[in-house]
Amino acid sequence: MTGEDEVEVFLNSVFVRVKSWLKEADGSEVHLDETPSDIRRQVRLSLPLEGEGLEGALEGIDDFLLHSVRTHHSNFMNPLWGGFSASAFAGEVISAVAQSSMYTFQLAPIATLVEQEIISRMSEIIGFSDGNGVLTTGGSNGNMLGLLCARHSHYPIGMKTGVDGRNLVMYVSAESHYSALMAANVIGIGHDNVVKVSTDEDGRMNCNRLEEEIEITLTEGKTPLCIIATSGTTVRGAFDPIAEIAEIANRNGIWLHVDAAWGGACLFSNTHAELMRGVELADSICWDAHKMMGVPLICSAFIIKNPRILRQTCNHTRAAHYLFHSNTEDLDLGHMSLQCGRRIDALKLWLAWKEKGDAGWAKLVDGYVELAEYLEKLVVDEPSLELMSTRMWANVCFRYNPSSSERNSEIDLNLLNSKLRDELSATKQFLISRSNIAEDVILRPVIANPGVSLEVLDKLVSEIVRIGDELIAAD
Amino acid sequence: MTGEDEVEVFLNSVFVRVKSWLKEADGSEVHLDETPSDIRRQVRLSLPLEGEGLEGALEGIDDFLLHSVRTHHSNFMNPLWGGFSASAFAGEVISAVAQSSMYTFQLAPIATLVEQEIISRMSEIIGFSDGNGVLTTGGSNGNMLGLLCARHSHYPIGMKTGVDGRNLVMYVSAESHYSALMAANVIGIGHDNVVKVSTDEDGRMNCNRLEEEIEITLTEGKTPLCIIATSGTTVRGAFDPIAEIAEIANRNGIWLHVDAAWGGACLFSNTHAELMRGVELADSICWDAHKMMGVPLICSAFIIKNPRILRQTCNHTRAAHYLFHSNTEDLDLGHMSLQCGRRIDALKLWLAWKEKGDAGWAKLVDGYVELAEYLEKLVVDEPSLELMSTRMWANVCFRYNPSSSERNSEIDLNLLNSKLRDELSATKQFLISRSNIAEDVILRPVIANPGVSLEVLDKLVSEIVRIGDELIAAD
């Protein structure tokens, strides 16, 4: 075989594997529940000194697929993403074969326009009339960038002189994502300056407490820098009241960033957009298309009301004479990014959006929330299950709690539910998340997978009850 | 057609396009040299309200490919990456279809082991006996993470209290990458605290100057925090003398990070590993597999000698009860990352490594440098071209300079070479980089594309001379 033929044969073999992986999904187990040593025993992980050619690569692919989690399986409801989108997958394939880097228009001409089209549309949906932004490396990174823009806006000279971060304070809900701590550490304000504002009974930031915390900061002689409101918390799917928070932020001159990594897609839905009422009053927002919108990881938008601040924050790009030339300055998206080399993450979203349209996104969102409502109802109707939080979005938080029976009153429910989740995983039939609400261990399936159906949810609930009952019986 | 059939037909159409894109490479132009309005006139960029189905997505793919740069074309020698690797491309395809997120072993079991295998092997090659690390979102991000680890190592309590960055100083060569400024701004030490140490005539950091700069910092009462040595500068491909710098860093208790994004692959080569002599003395390093090693963007390793510091720097993950459970703590790579959701970037490198082996990487590196030597020789032998820097790696820096002719002594060579690069791009036959060395505009093709051959380089040089001569004649 010539080299070219060999490549073609290899690629054909790869494509065959892609198609059979997709076909086998629901006929197979969600995962194999293996330990590292299980895998090590079966797979030659080590890297060879002498190459094994494309044959070796193909063997690697077979090993990889065999031992991977079927995240496209309908019973995969663990993280805030899952399932398969053909158009978005095709976008990844094309982005890989026609790869480029998003720094300059010259090297990524249509990709630049595609990304700007998406950003400008998302900006419009948010309600930022002159907004702009960039795709980042994920929600954590987008939150960090929001905080960085807040810092730059507050203290622009700090870019030159450095910043004393010890007196800068940020506010998040007590149920916010851990990336707030990451961002605080990275930009140098420290974990102690992350004020976790307590939440109401449904997990939403308490605005009275927020005002009190700001007062405390001021009394301490510190500077309130940034509020991060969460639209769709990780565990409960709670939406902080943006309009009220924005009023407080505005009154106190504090930057408002919205972490809508998980919840942003509600804006497509006439029914659910209300959850983010007031988002147009924020200063910046991050919104992951790789979560509810089902685009492969990573596809995360950072959008800012005043793009000048983002460009200033990325002012370091002025030094890169080897990359940017002044005649294309406005076109080169590298001027709005903390990355230099950057993948084309826009194409997959553009293709999925072409396939679905705004109407398709709305339908997807409404459908997911309806399924979550159905699951909520199953939980409420099942005596041995206890709903642990009001359902507001596609997260359903509950636990197994057979408390009606006398004997069961002494059960350690946290231990029981942890065990239950392990046992459920061990069946290899379902993957859902285990988490905490306050001191309680809960189970938290989410609906973010187009394969999930009423039947899947029926089966999930009966499986959980079966395992719970067995654990109780065995006790 | 049922939905499943429709998806299969669609995917087949996508794969056909992949194969024809690969086949047509060298028969086509490198790029179309279009303006944004050229593209806007031909492509429906806007996102539809009503979905257009997979047909709409397919149209989008055709548009995208038509207007993209052929970065796999043999005449593409512009950025520090290019060309096509079938095994690595297959890795991207499989990572997309069997997608997961790298935070936990449970969700990414084999991907976790694959990534650790790669990191541990790279660590071994570097000479860190207990090193560990993580794939990041690129060299810029890796440099930032190195700086962050330096800060944490110097002042661990800062993670809690915040940091006064105004007195922390870092040192880079005057020819280092602009990400040093980005990182300094992000972590809050500011651009003014980035000391650009002058370089020798070949673009390497001057160690005497480095020592003087450290003295100045101390005299000013500031703290020398971190030195970033560059292994393979963007423009000239210069390698800072790591062993000497490490001695200075060690003597002064300063963290040494090595930016080997571009040069790291030299470590595979018996001939060229010498360029990074002393790298085992560094504290951390970033090394991009998506540059010389030809893996699709992004595949960037951050490796640290003392992994405990990286884990401490990512201590925010302790807050994520919804993600990490204590029983798999050592296995969950999320504890070493600033990202939460993180793509599988390891598979593509693992497959390429299986295909090539260490021996194949060495051959690739040696071959690229030989081609660069050949290009250097062509430049030196061509009277109207002027080599602008000693060639040390796969970068060749030169300019068109017909200075032998009397009449030409008044030519503005910078303007001429800028024009020349524009004209060369306008032929659509080649893409090379334009850059500066000190005040001089230079041309900088790099060899980082497996398609480049002696013939390609012959043609490049004759094309440059032809265009230069025409510009002179037209003047």
DSSP string, B222-249: -EEEEEEEEBS-TTT--B--HHHHHHHH
Mean pLDDT of chain A: 96
Q: Right CATH number for A365-474 from 3.90.1150.10, 3.40.50.2000, 3.20.20.70, 3.40.50.300?
A: 3.90.1150.10
DSSP annotation of B339: -
Write down the pLDDT at residue B2.
59
Mark yes or no for CB contact A45/B114 under 8 Å. Answer: yes
Residue-range domain boundaries for chain A: 3-30+32-68, 100-343, 365-474
Closest to B187 in 3D by CA, of B171, B157, B217, B163: B163
DSSP 8-state class, residue A201: T
Using a 10 angstrom Cβ sphere, with 0-12 exposed, 13-18 middle and 19 or more buried, the burial of residue B1 is exposed
- At residue A287, the pLDDT reads 98
Q: B43 contacts in A (CB within 8 Å)?
A: 110, 113
Q: pLDDT, tens digit, for every residue of A211-243?
A: 999 999 999 999 999 999 999 999 999 999 999
Q: B330 or B152: which carries more pLDDT confidence?
A: B152
Q: Output the pLDDT for position A3.
A: 74
Instruction: Say whether pLDDT at B409 is over 90.
Output: no
| pLDDT tens profile A122-144 | 999 999 999 999 999 999 999 99
- pLDDT at residue B238, as a whole number: 98
What residue type is B66 in one-letter code? L
Closest CA to B297 of A333, A341, A349, A137: A341
3-class state of residue B50 by DSSP? coil
Q: What is the pLDDT of residue A219?
A: 98
Answer yes or no: is pLDDT of B426 > 80.
yes
Ranking A447-451, B279-283, B313-317 by mean pLDDT, the lowest is: B313-317
Q: Does A235 touch chain B (CB under 8 A)?
A: yes
Q: Which residues pair with A436 in a beta bridge?
A: A441
Provide the pLDDT confidence category of residue A425 given band limits of 50, 70 and 90.
very high
Cα–Cα distance, B184 to A58 (Å, whole number): 43
Full strand arrangement of the beta sheet holding A385-387: A76-77, A431-437, A440-444, A398-400, A385-387
What is the per-residue pLDDT across B119-144, written as a single tens digit (0 to 9) for each? 999 999 999 999 999 999 999 999 99
Strands, E, within A231-318: which ranges? 255-259, 284-288, 300-304
The listed CATH number (3.90.480.10, 1.10.10.1100, 3.40.640.10, 3.40.50.280) that belongs to domain B100-343: 3.40.640.10
Asked if residue A406 has pLDDT above 60, the reply is: no
Task: Write out pLDDT tens, residues B346-373.
Answer: 999 999 999 999 999 999 999 999 999 9
Percent pLDDT > 70 in chain B is 98
Which residues in chain B touch residue A188, judged by CB atoms under 8 angstroms apart? 151, 158, 162-163, 165, 187-188
Cβ-Cβ pairs closer than 8 A, A with B, add up to 477
Interface test with A, best of B340, B419, B428 (most A CBs within 10 A): B340
Tell me the two tokens of residue A49. Answer: 């000194």
pLDDT class for B408, splitting at 50, 70, 90? low
Q: Taking CB atoms and an 8 Å cutoff, what residues of chain B touch A262?
A: none
Confidence of residue B406 (pLDDT cuts 50, 70, 90): low
| Interval B216-227: pLDDT, tens | 999 999 999 999
Q: Indicate the residue of A67, A81, A358 with minimum beta-carbon distance to B109.
A: A67
B322–A89: do the CB atoms touch at under 8 Å?
Answer: no
Q: Chain A, 82-141: which have a CB under 8 Å from a chain B CB?
A: 84, 86-87, 89-94, 96-101, 105-114, 117-118, 121, 137-141
User: Does A97 contact B72 at a Cβ distance shorter than 8 Å?
Assistant: yes
Do the domains A365-474 and A100-343 match in fold?
Answer: no
What is the band of B1 on the pLDDT scale with cuts at 50, 70, 90? low
* Cβ–Cβ under 8 Å, residues B293 and B349: yes
CA distance A337 to A313: 9
When computed from its CA atoms, the radius of gyration of chain A, rounded to whole angstroms, is 24
Distance between CA atoms of residues A284 and A286, nearest Å: 7
Cα gap A72→A88, rounded to integer Å: 13
Q: How confident is the model at residue B405 (pLDDT cuts 50, 70, 90)?
A: low
Mark yes or no for CB contact A101/B84 under 8 Å: no
The question of ipTM being above 0.90 is answered as yes
For B62-97, the pLDDT digits (tens) are: 999 999 999 999 999 999 999 999 999 999 999 999
Residue A121 confidence (pLDDT) above 60: yes
Q: What is the pLDDT of residue A175?
A: 97
Mind listing the pLDDT tens digit for each residue in A17-47? 999 999 988 789 999 999 999 999 999 999 9
The pLDDT confidence band at residue B25, using thresholds 50, 70 and 90, is confident
- Residue B449 three-state SS: coil
**Separation of CA A30 from chain center:** 21
Cβ–Cβ of B188/A185 closer than 8 Å?
A: no
**Per-residue pLDDT band at A329 (split at 50, 70, 90):** confident
**Residue B4 confidence (pLDDT):** 76
Residues 376-415 of chain A with CB under 8 A from chain B are none
Looking at residue A327, its pLDDT comes to 73
**A178 touching chain B per CB within 8 A:** yes
- Residue A403 is predicted with a pLDDT of 79
pLDDT above 60 for A405: no
Pairing of strands B194-197, B168-173: parallel
Angle at B374 between CA B369 and CA B379, to 5 degrees: 120
Residue type, B24: E
Q: Which DSSP string corresponds to B278-324?
A: TGGGSSEEEEETTSTT-PPS--EEEEESSHHHHHHHTGGGGG-TTT-
* CB nearest B54 (choices: A84, A87, A160): A87
pLDDT at A323: 86
Q: Can you tell me the distance from the alpha carbon of A272 to that of A264, in angstroms, rounded to the nearest whole number?
A: 10
- Whole-number mean pLDDT of chain B? 96
The answer to whether the CB of B159 falls within 8 A of the CB of B188 is no
Tell me what pLDDT residue A1 has.
54
pLDDT of residue B328: 75
pLDDT tops 80 at residue B475: no
Choice between A278 and A4, residue whose per-residue pLDDT is larger: A278
Bigger pLDDT: A27 vs A60: A60
